[in-house]
Amino acid sequence: MNNVLGYENKNVVITGAASGMGQAAAQQLVDLGANVFALDIASITVPVHKAISVDMKNATSIDAAVAELPDNIDALFNCAGVPSPPFSAADTILINFSGLRYLTESLLPRISAGGGIASIASTAGMGWKPKIETAKTFLALDNSLEVAAQWIADHPLESSDGYGFSKQCIIAYTMTMAKKLAKKNIRINCISPSPTASGFMDTLKGEGKMPAEAIDLFLPSNGRYATGAEMGEPLVLLNSKMASFVSGVNLPVDFGYCAEVFIGDRDDLLGIS
C-alpha cells in the first residue's frame, strides 16, 4: 500500500514549484517517490530530481526547459500562476494559460499512455459558461505565445480581467482536450481552489492592493483560507492511479463555496451558477 498513488519511480513535471500550491505538490510528489522535474522562474527549495528555470510567458525559455526534460513523462502538473494586479492582464494570461498550453502541447508526445495532466484553475474562473464563446475563440488560435499576445492586444475588453479569463481558459481547455487525449489514454483535469494562504495571496493583497475584505467574500463557510498542501493533495490525487478513469473534470476545492452558490444559499458574485 506504500505506492497506492502509483508515483514511485515515475517521471513527473511540475511548474510553479517554488512556492504555494506548486511547492506543496512538489514536496508531496518527492515524498511519494517520484522523479520530480520542477520548473519555476524563482528558486526551488524542494529537493527535486532536477530544478529548471523557466519564464512561462516566453516560448524560447519554455523550449529550453523542455529540452532538459526526460523523453518519457508520466504526469504533468501545471501550477504556475500570477495575480492580476499587480501583473498586467496580458502577462497574466500569457503566464497562467498560454504558457501552460504551450508547455502542455510541447510535452504531449512524451506523456505515456495512462498518464495524466492536472492544472490549477480557480473559483475566479468558475464563471466560464457565460464566457465560453470568447474562450473557444482564444483556444481556436494556434498555441504560439506571439499569436496569443496579439489577440490579447486586439481584444482589450475580452481580456481586461486577465486573471479570471486565464482561469476560464484553463477550465475550457481541460474539457476541450479530454476527448482528444482519451484516444491516447491520457487524462486531463483541473482544480478550482478557493482563496489559499500563499505568496500569491500576499502579492495580491500587497502589490495588487486587493483589500482583504474583498477576498474574504469568497471564503468558504468554514471561514478560513486553505493551505497550499490542501490544494496540492487533490491535484496529486487527480494525476494518480487512484483516479485512473477521471478526465475532463474541473474540481472545485473550496470546502463547499461553489455548492452554496449553485444551491442558492450564497450570492453568486462570480457568475458561476
Residue 27 pLDDT grade (very low, low, confident, very high; cuts 50, 70, 90):
very high
User: What's residue 113's pLDDT?
Assistant: 97
Q: What percent of the chain has pLDDT over 90?
A: 90
DSSP one-letter code for 226: B
Residue 83 makes CB contacts below 8 A (sequence gap 6+) with 92, 163, 200, 201, 203, 204, 208, 210
Greater model confidence, 191 or 203: 191
The average pLDDT across 185-193 equals: 98
For the domain 11-263, what is the CATH code?
3.40.50.720
Q: Is the pLDDT of residue 1 over 60?
A: no
At residue 168, what is the residue type?
Answer: Q
User: What's residue 202's pLDDT?
Assistant: 85
The tens digit of pLDDT for each residue in 157-176 reads 999 999 999 999 999 999 99
Find out whether 228 and 169 touch, Cβ atoms under 8 Å: no
Predicted TM-score (pTM) of the model is 0.96
Please give the Cα distance from 226 to 26 (Å, whole number).
17
Q: Is the pLDDT of residue 238 over 70?
A: yes
